[in-house]
Every structure is written in C-alpha cells, then in structure tokens.
Amino acid sequence: MKDVKITATSKVAANNLVTNNQLSKIMDTSDEWITKRTGIKTRHISTDKNTSDLATTVGKDLLEQVSWTPDKLDLIIVATMSPDYLTPSVSAQIQGKLGAQHAVAFDLSAACSGFSYALSVARSMLLANNWSKALVIGAEVLSKLIDWDDRSSAVLFGDGAGGVILETAAERHFVGQDLQTFGELGNQLTAGHIKNNTELSNNSFTYTPFQMNGREVYRFATHEVPQSIEAACKQAGITADQIDHYLLHQANSRIIEHVAKRLNQPLNKFPININEYGNTAAASEAILLAECAEKGRVKKGETIALSGFGGGLTCATVIFKY
C-alpha cells in the first residue's frame, strides 16, 4: 500500500531563554507557583526573529539532512497561529526564501493541534496528487500575542519551530488518526481578535492577547485527548499498549500525567520537555519529536502517537510508524 513516511526531523528554539525567576521580577508570580501548576521552568522568547524566520531555519536544515534541492519539493505546509502577516502566509515566505518554486504552499490554523492536522492534510495531498516530497512545519512566535501583565497566561508560552520531511513510501506508515473540532467551546481560548469598525476612517489595527479559561481547557484536554488516542488506536487496529511513545502537545505537565493515567500507560512513554520550552502551540509536537529523535529516545520502526489539543477548541491524534 502506498503511503508517506517521516524521513527527517528538525527544531529550533528562539534566542532568548527566560526563566520563571526573571518573570517574577516583572509580574506577581514565582518559580514555585509556575512550576507547581504547569511544570514550566523556562521558555524561549524571540527578540530578533519572526515566525517565518524560525520556520525557514527548520526548512533549510531539513533539506540539508536529506540532500534535496528546494525545487524538488511539491508541498510546504506551516501550522501556526502567530504568522508574520495575515498575507503572505508563512509557508509562502518560506517557499520564496528557499527557492522552492514548484511547491504548493499554505498555512494551516488549528492552534495547538495544528501540527497533527498538517501531517494529515499533507499525507492526503501527497497521495491524492501523486506528489512525493513535502515539508511540514509547526512554527510560533507566541510572545507577540502575550499580555505580560496577565500572569495566568503570560507564564505559559514560548517561541520556536519544528518540522519534518514527508516523502512517499511503498509500505503503510500512518496507521490511524482522529481529528476533532469543538467550535462551541472556541471562546474558552482566544487570541488575536480583530475588531471591525463602523467608522470608515477609524480602524485601530490592534489584536487582542491570549485570553483563556484555564479550568475549562484543562477539563477539555483531560477528557478529550484520551478518547482521541483511543479512537485513533481503534482505527489503526492496535491497543494503547502497542504504542511505544506518546508525544503529546506540551501545554501542562499535569495534563500529560492525567492522560497517561486515563490510558493506563506508564509515564515513561510520555516524553516531556515543557519544562524548557513552555507551550509552543503548533510547534510543540514537532519540537518534541525532533528532540526525541536527536537523543535516540525515538527509534526507527517504533509506533508513535502524536496528539495535539487546544484552541478551536480542537483535538487531533496521528499514529505512525517512525
């Protein structure tokens, strides 16, 4: 059966490492308060690069790893909720910067589920169009959307990018998925609202920062993520025990612990790096996958479950053989 496979991974973190203690100097918080509630110790904040810059760095590294020239690419998808512009898309900027003139390029907005959504879409497009090579990247500079006076949200987010090379394969690699959207809960996590104006000359061009009902989002994640993983396993014809590694969106360490418990799986199957990166939204799963691959935590032939959840509200699980 013709399918696609992941043949390279890459990540980049923003340049400025910010600790909890540093944040405690500009807002009413502490390292103990943040760590206890989220598991976050540090996060990377960009002071010199925008979303397209981080994504382009990842794209260049991926192409170097597989020794492809940019003109070989058929498709570029960037999952992001913090683009440089409303137009052009981040993916179009990457296509231009790389010189990938033959690649179809577009962004996908599904917040923290974006990378899993993008993998599913890229796989479908490669198979449907008889294409063979794609870049799939998750990239965020969320610091652009943070209200630094709101300690409930400002301490959570970080900037970075991660991505993969997808190429066609003769054997099946992507074995199950579950993608869901819960639009009725969308107001529980919002950012970047653009208000319209009735006065023609009075557009303010301002965006709202992150606003989140943390309790409701936590409840959503702890209930929906285990169900999504179980649904994807059912489609794949496997049990939760047969998953070698669960790479979950890094939103909160307690959420990950709860999901492991609900699935009756050992926590050592759930790598965690939120302590260093914070919540990087659509970049989160890609950064974690690349880090696990670099450290040998994830090995070829193992079965991986990627699961994202967040704004929309959305939830997405993709199961594949690495």
Q: Which amino acids are annotated catalytic?
A: 112, 249, 279
| Tokens describing residue 25 | 């100097």
Integer Cα distance of 108 and 66 in angstroms: 24
Q: Which two tokens stand for residue 195?
A: 């208000």
Tell me if residue 217 falls in helix, strand or coil.
helix
Q: Is 190 helix (H, G, I), strand (E, B) or coil?
A: strand
Q: Is 181 left (phi over 0), alpha (psi -120 to 50) or beta?
A: beta
Produce one character per residue of 128-137: b if its CB has 16 or more CB atoms within 10 Å, e if not. Answer: eeebebbbbb
The gap from C-alpha 83 to its chain's centroid, in whole angstroms, comes to 14
**Cβ neighbours of residue 22 closer than 8 Å, sequence gap 6 or more:** none
